Amino acid sequence: MAEAAVADQARPWPPPAGAYAEERGLFQLLQNMLEELLIHKPDDPIEFMINHLKQNNDDAPRICVLGPPASGKTTVAMWLCKHFNAIRVSQETLLFKEVLMQTEEAKAYKERNQKIPNALWANLIQERLSNVDCIKQGWVLEGFPENQEQAWMLQASGIFPRHVVMLYAPDTVLIERSGGKRLDPLTQVLAFVQSRHRSAAPFTPRILFFGPPGSGKSLQAELIAQKYDVVNICCGQLLKEAVADNTKLGELVKPYIDSGGPVPDDLVLKLLTERLSALDCLTNGWVLSGFPRDVQQGEQLQQAQINPNRVFFFNLPYESIMERLSQRRTDPVTGERYHTTFRPAPTPEIQARLRQNPKDEEENIEKRLDTYYSHVKALEDFYQDAFYVNADQDPYVIFEFIESCIIKPLPCKSSSSL
C-alpha cells in the first residue's frame, strides 16, 4: 500500500493535456476528421463530424490490393480480411454475391461480352462500401482500380484507401519455400497495412517563390507549372479572381481591392487554404508567389498546415530591377506588354498609345522595394532550407537551376546558391 501511495504521489495529476491526448489517440482522431472534412466539404460540418464520431471507424482498414493476373491478389485479400475481420470487395463479389441497385445493369454488360463502364464499376463500389458492414469493419478492395481513370473515379466518389498493396510476383513465387524457409509475403503485407498512413505530400511539389518586384517570379512559376503540371497560384491574382467570381470571400475582399489597400491576413489565408486544399493542388502540387510577405504571415501558413517543401529567394540588383520595371509599357487596346529596351513596340502607332502602369513609376517601385527588403531577412531566417537564385541572367538558365532543386533532395543551405 505504501509503495502504491508513493507511486500515486509521483504521478502528475491531472496528467498533462498533451500526454492525455496522445495516450487516447485524440490527435489522430482530429487529423482523420479534418481529412474527411477537406475531402467531402459537407454543407453542415458539425453534423458531419457528429456522424463521423458515431461511426467510429477511423481505425477500420481501407485497403486496395492490386497486381497483374496470377499475382495472388485474391489470396492476399482474403487473408487480410480474415486477419482484420474486414469485408472483401471484388468484381466477382459485386456481380455474383451482392444485391446492389446497379448489379443487374453490370451483369447485362457481362452477358453481352461487353466491357463494364468505369463509371458503373465506381458506382457499384461506392454503394457497397457505404453499407454499414464496410463502414464498421473496414474493407479490402481487390483488383480495382485497374487504371488511372478508375482511380480518379474512386476519388471523385470520395473513396480513398489508406493503404495500397501492389503485387508484382506470380502466386507460385509468393508461396515458394527456399531452403526450408517459407518466403512469406503475407507478413510483409501485414506490416505495411498496420503501419500508420503516410502522406505522399513530401513528394508532391509545394513551392514558394520570394523575390523583389521584377525578379521574374511569375515567369519561373509559369515555366514550372507548364512542365510539371503543378498549379500556379499568384496570391494577388487569386484575390482578383475571387472578386470577379462573386464568391462569399470575394465580396469581403472587394472593398480592399477597390481601395487599393492591403487585404487582411485572415481573408487571404482563408482564400489560400481553400485553394490549396482543392484536389488539383493536393494531387499535382503547387507553386505560390505573393504570400507570405512577412514572418507573421509565414507563421500563419504554418499553423494552417500549409508547409512548402521547396522555397526560393530571387536576388536581383537594384539597377536591374529599375531597368526591368520602369521601362515596362502596356498597350491599352490589346493588353500586350512591351519594354522600351528589351521588347519595343513593333510600330510607331502602337508606340504612341503605350501607357505606363502607375506602380512601375520609379517612386512607387522604390516603395515596393522598401517593403520587400524590410521583411526579407526575417523570412530568410524563417525558411532556413531555402535556395537562393541569381535572377540577373537568362530566364532558362534560372529555370534549369530551379528545376534541379525541385527534383533533387534538399542540399545544405551553404551550397544552394547559383
Question: What distance in Å separates the CA atoms of residue 272 and residue 17, rounded to the nearest whole number?
Answer: 31
Query: CA torsion sign, 212 to 218 to 219 to 220?
Result: positive
Work out the pLDDT band at 11, boundaries 50, 70, 90.
very low
Give the tens place of pLDDT for each residue, 214-234.
999 999 999 999 988 899 999
Q: Maximum Cα–Cα distance for the chain, whole Å?
A: 100
In this predicted structure, what is the pLDDT of residue 24? 55
Mean pLDDT lowest for which of 90-104, 272-286, 380-394? 90-104
Work out the pLDDT band at 200, boundaries 50, 70, 90.
very low
In this predicted structure, what is the pLDDT of residue 2? 43
* Of 262, 287, 75, residue with least CA distance to 185: 75
In 10 A of CB 395, how many CB atoms? 12
Give the tens place of pLDDT for each residue, 344-385.
999 999 999 999 988 889 999 999 999 999 999 999 999 988
> Mean pLDDT, the chain, as a whole number?
80
Chain position carrying cell 498549379: 231
pLDDT above 80 for 6: no
In this predicted structure, what is the pLDDT of residue 408? 61
Work out the pLDDT band at 5, boundaries 50, 70, 90.
very low
Measured CA to CA in angstroms, residue 193 lies from 161, 360, 365 at distances of: 11, 57, 56
pLDDT above 50 for 86: yes
In this predicted structure, what is the pLDDT of residue 386? 92
E-assigned strand segments in 235-378: 286-289, 310-315, 328-330, 337-339
Does the reported pTM lie above 0.85?
A: no
- Identify the residue with better confidence: 48 or 290: 290
Read off the amino acid at residue 403. Answer: E
